[in-house]
A and B are shown apart, each in its own frame.
Chain A
Amino acid sequence: MTIIFLLIGLSLLVALTFLAAFLWAVRSGQYDDAYTPSVRMLFEDEPELRP
């Protein structure tokens, strides 16, 4: 049953990765504005008109 030490260690590692991902997402400002991106993604992509 000592494999449990390894398994728990691995599962903690996975969980820590998710925690780190969450902290990174907060830090990079993804939680600052939860509204505008939802509108922006619906805008039509238009061809570049500037010469």
Chain B
Amino acid sequence: MAPTQWRPELCGPTPLCPPVPVILESPATDLACAHCGDVCPAEPLRLAELPFCCAGCRTVYELLNDNQLCTYYALGERPGLKIKAVELPGRFDYLASEAVQAQLLSFRSAERGRLTLHVPQMHCTSCIWLLEHLPRLHAGVVEARVQFLRKEITITYLLADISLPEVVQLLASVGYEPQITLAELGAQPHRASHTLYYQLGLAAFAFGNVMLLALPEYFSFVEDLQAGFGRFFGYLSLVLALPVLLYSARGFFRSAGQGLRQRHINLDFPISLGLASLFSVSTFEVLTGRGPGYFDSFTGLVFFMLIGKWVQQRTYDALRFDRDYTAYFPVAVTRLTPAGEQSISVQELAVGHRIRVRHQEVIPADAVLRRGAGQIDYSFVSGESTPVTRAAGDLVYAGGRQLGEALELEVVRGVSQGYLTQLWNNPAFTKDAAGPTLETYANRAGRYFVALTLLLAAGTLAYWAPRDQATMWRAFTSVLVIACPCALSLATPFALGAALRVLGRHKLYLKNAAVIETLARADTLVFDKTGTLTDPTQSAVQYHGRPLLPLEKQLIATAAAQSTHPLSQRLARELATEAVPLATCQEYPGQGLSATAASGQALRLGSAAFVGASASGPEGTPETCVHVALDGELTGYFTFRNVYRPALPAVLTALSQRYRLAVLSGDTDAEGPRLRALFGPAAELRFGQSPADKLAYVAAERALGHTVVMIGDGLNDAGALRAANAGIALTDTLTNFSPACDAILEAVELGRLATFLGFSRACLRAVLATFALSLCYNAVGLTLAVQGHFTPIASAILMPLSSLSVMVMATLLVRWAARRYQL
């Protein structure tokens, strides 16, 4: 790595020459922490020659080592999770409450309790191993079972030996603190729906057996067999096919019925029509002894279409796409009553209550700050990770995370009435969640299909009626039978299901396959700024003022490293020099810190008021500033500016050729010129947008007929994400909170957004090509049908052939598209 650049001589205070920014680089250290694999500081903590980056990691290692659980480190590469420095006593006390336990525990007897917890941190084989070996760490834990894909752990424990808060504390002590939030309360262990498996199994059973029974019909050399047993086989097939009609195919009929009730014909309507006529024609033929019917085709169709459903249904269990604010807000808050502190559930929180919010806790409701210095990190709301300072008497909005000392707040609005949570009262959230927002191609094709089929069937009736009564009925029913667009219905699930997996491999996780179609048809892309276009973990640190001596830099870096404030941490990381011994170091929450070096040099680092600077220095600059005073003399200030994600210019250039682009920012327009340069002259840039404004903008664009994709990250984008045709939530780590959305994209892959959208379009073309193929089969079938030549054997060949070839072609076309887009 290159040596750290630090050239203060370039930013001298000469008035003619404006300060030249110096962007600093991260330090180079080659020691990796034995627990978490992070880079160790210059003088790492040691235990038995192994380096550790912090005391938390060393504690976990010691704990595991003492219990002979070090296999943990052998299974995966650096599996450990960094332990948050601050442990709060009493953080899990609310779990001791009877009401909370009643909601959390899925089973409880006199001596045992069982519950399922969501542990988003688990990520590898080592995690599974350690979590399933919890009983080693505490005898009170009887059993621990991990559901890795859902990131859930089911723990059975002895009530006499360990309490629920202790169980959770145990998990937290090894770095796997479970996520227990308002939304998860009362959620019983995930019960996957087994219905589709039952339906599929039944259809497969019936298909296999009916096909065997129908075989003699297709071969002339077993004619005498057919003569003797034909009727028996027919009745047996009817008996086998009946449960398929009544149970396996139920979903298609129900969906068609729902569509009809909403005066809407979807693809399931012609399917149901075809299935119903196929079954009734076959029953009629069997009962009247005319032939064996089409039961093999019928059961086969249902089986193939259920496979299509199964392929499409595969989703990402561990990701939650429907999270609202309740998933983020805490379960319990500390209420201050005259009798003392009391832990109450967030739902019970009412206007006027006094609450205490400690370090790292989330503010659950809009409230007035009564006591304490608020340092509130709103990164989950806005994407901006620099804390906001609030003093007593200020109004504090819900959703922020307090850093520093405990606060006393007075609630002024109920949880669901807050500035932020009111978003969820918007009609965009109350409208039918399941309702498709876009008319899919499959449904539109289905409608034309119905019209065409009915027209053809009527034409057949009219043509044959004066000529041949017997052929007329056969031809008429055959048209209805062949009209079952099963191949058509298989094209979408197989193509989009394959695409879903391709995108998942590249860290774009879609809620369901239908989202691909929406992405492919998008014409407007709306971005949030902070946290989406900018990288919240990076900032360009610039120093303005008189040049600093190397020793002074060391002092600043060492003092800043003592503080947990994000700006101090960032500063320490940027300066990254060798530590100097400090005589004193004192932090003043919300203001800054003061330190004295062993050499006697005094440093004050922090806000302008704290350091004693007049506000004149950085006036007008939108950036966050940290002032520096050495021995009472002001030397200058550091500015922290958010940096845009490095991949942004390239991806925007690619996107602007095809899409209308817009930026909705909650900030002032200080960044306007930079954004304009990035987005080009045609883009819509809006600043000072409230969450409701963002929602309204997206809704207005949709009303104009545009297909809108919103890309955002915080809770304040939740409304816009919801209102858009497709909302993509950007996240830096998957375990982090992401608001309700249709897709979750890992931030490192933002640069491939143009590729993803292009690939979606290619997938949609693949679907259309497969439609064409299946229509060819239907044309062949219909040609036979209108002439009255559509026999059971023609059906038995055509139906599986079309289904299978459509499945194969859809999958292959998508794979080919993926290769073309290098995905």
* A and B interact physically: yes
Q: B128 within 8 Å of A by Cβ?
A: yes
The CA-CA distance from A26 to B125 in the complex, in Å, is 25
* A40-B192 in contact (CB<8A): no
The CA-CA distance from A15 to B213 in the complex, in Å, is 13
Chain A, residue nearest B124 (CB): A39
Chain B residues with CB under 8 A of A1: 225, 228-229
B192 to chain A, nearest CB (A): 5
Chain A residues with CB under 8 A of B512: none
- Give A contacts to B, CB under 8 Å: 1, 4-5, 8, 11-12, 15-16, 18-19, 22-23, 26-27, 31-36, 39-40, 42-44, 46, 49-50
* B129-A36 in contact (CB<8A): no
Number of interface residues of B (CB under 8 A): 29
Chain A, residue nearest B239 (CB): A12
Q: Please judge, given known A-B contacts A1-B225, A1-B228, A49-B136, whether A19 and B202 are in contact too, CB under 8 Å.
A: yes
Q: B668 within 8 Å of A by Cβ?
A: no
Neighbour of B147 across the interface among A31, A33, A43, A46, CB < 8 A = A33
The CA-CA distance from A46 to B236 in the complex, in Å, is 54
The CA-CA distance from A1 to B128 in the complex, in Å, is 59
Chain B residues with CB under 8 A of A27: 194
* A39-B149 in contact (CB<8A): no
> Which residues 159-217 in B have Cβ within 8 Å of A in the complex?
192, 194, 197-198, 201-202, 205, 208-209, 212-213
* B148-A15 in contact (CB<8A): no
- Give B contacts to A, CB under 8 Å: 68, 71, 125, 128-129, 132, 136, 139, 146-150, 192, 194, 197-198, 201-202, 205, 208-209, 212-213, 225, 228-229, 232, 236
The CA-CA distance from A16 to B201 in the complex, in Å, is 11
* B229-A4 in contact (CB<8A): yes
The CA-CA distance from A44 to B125 in the complex, in Å, is 12
* A44-B71 in contact (CB<8A): yes
The CA-CA distance from A5 to B163 in the complex, in Å, is 63
Chain A residues with CB under 8 A of B197: 26, 31
* B205-A15 in contact (CB<8A): yes
* B136-A36 in contact (CB<8A): no
Chain B, residue nearest A26 (CB): B197
Chain A, residue nearest B236 (CB): A8
* A40-B128 in contact (CB<8A): yes
The CA-CA distance from A27 to B136 in the complex, in Å, is 31
Q: Please judge, given known A-B contacts A12-B209, A15-B205, A26-B197, whether A39 and B71 are in contact too, CB under 8 Å.
A: no
Chain A, residue nearest B194 (CB): A26
Chain A residues with CB under 8 A of B129: 43
* B194-A33 in contact (CB<8A): no
Chain B residues with CB under 8 A of A26: 194, 197-198, 201
The CA-CA distance from A23 to B71 in the complex, in Å, is 38
Please classify the interface of chain A as helix (H, G, I), strand (E, B), loop, or mixed, using the class held by over half of its residues.
helix
Q: Which 4 A-B pairs have the closest CB atoms?
A: A36-B148, A26-B197, A19-B205, A22-B201
Chain A residues with CB under 8 A of B136: 49-50
* A36-B201 in contact (CB<8A): no
Chain B residues with CB under 8 A of A11: 209, 212
Chain A residues with CB under 8 A of B147: 32-33, 36
Q: Please judge, given known A-B contacts A49-B68, A50-B136, A50-B139, whether A35 and B148 are in contact too, CB under 8 Å.
A: yes
Q: Please judge, given known A-B contacts A15-B208, A22-B201, A27-B194, whether A33 and B149 are in contact too, CB under 8 Å.
A: yes
The CA-CA distance from A12 to B210 in the complex, in Å, is 10
The CA-CA distance from A26 to B146 in the complex, in Å, is 19
Chain B residues with CB under 8 A of A34: 149
Chain A residues with CB under 8 A of B125: 39, 42
Chain B, residue nearest A4 (CB): B229
Chain B, residue nearest A44 (CB): B71
A28 to chain B, nearest CB (A): 10
* B194-A36 in contact (CB<8A): no
Chain B residues with CB under 8 A of A43: 129, 132
6 interchain pairs, CB-CB under 8 A: A4-B229, A11-B209, A16-B205, A23-B201, A49-B68, A50-B139
The CA-CA distance from A40 to B236 in the complex, in Å, is 44
* B209-A36 in contact (CB<8A): no
The CA-CA distance from A44 to B192 in the complex, in Å, is 30
Residue from the set A18, A23, A33, A34 with the largest chain B CB neighbour count within 10 Å: A33
* B148-A39 in contact (CB<8A): yes
* B208-A23 in contact (CB<8A): no
Chain B residues with CB under 8 A of A19: 201-202, 205
B126 to chain A, nearest CB (A): 10
B78 to chain A, nearest CB (A): 18
The CA-CA distance from A35 to B212 in the complex, in Å, is 35
B244 to chain A, nearest CB (A): 12
Chain B residues with CB under 8 A of A23: 198, 201
The CA-CA distance from A1 to B213 in the complex, in Å, is 15
The CA-CA distance from A42 to B126 in the complex, in Å, is 12
B584 to chain A, nearest CB (A): 48
Chain B, residue nearest A42 (CB): B125
* A32-B192 in contact (CB<8A): yes
B121 to chain A, nearest CB (A): 16
The CA-CA distance from A36 to B145 in the complex, in Å, is 9
B313 to chain A, nearest CB (A): 12
The CA-CA distance from A31 to B136 in the complex, in Å, is 29
The CA-CA distance from A8 to B210 in the complex, in Å, is 11
Chain A residues with CB under 8 A of B148: 33, 35-36, 39
Chain A, residue nearest B229 (CB): A4
B446 to chain A, nearest CB (A): 30
Neighbour of B232 across the interface among A5, A15, A44, A46, CB < 8 A = A5
The CA-CA distance from A35 to B228 in the complex, in Å, is 50
Chain A residues with CB under 8 A of B132: 40, 43
The CA-CA distance from A37 to B478 in the complex, in Å, is 48
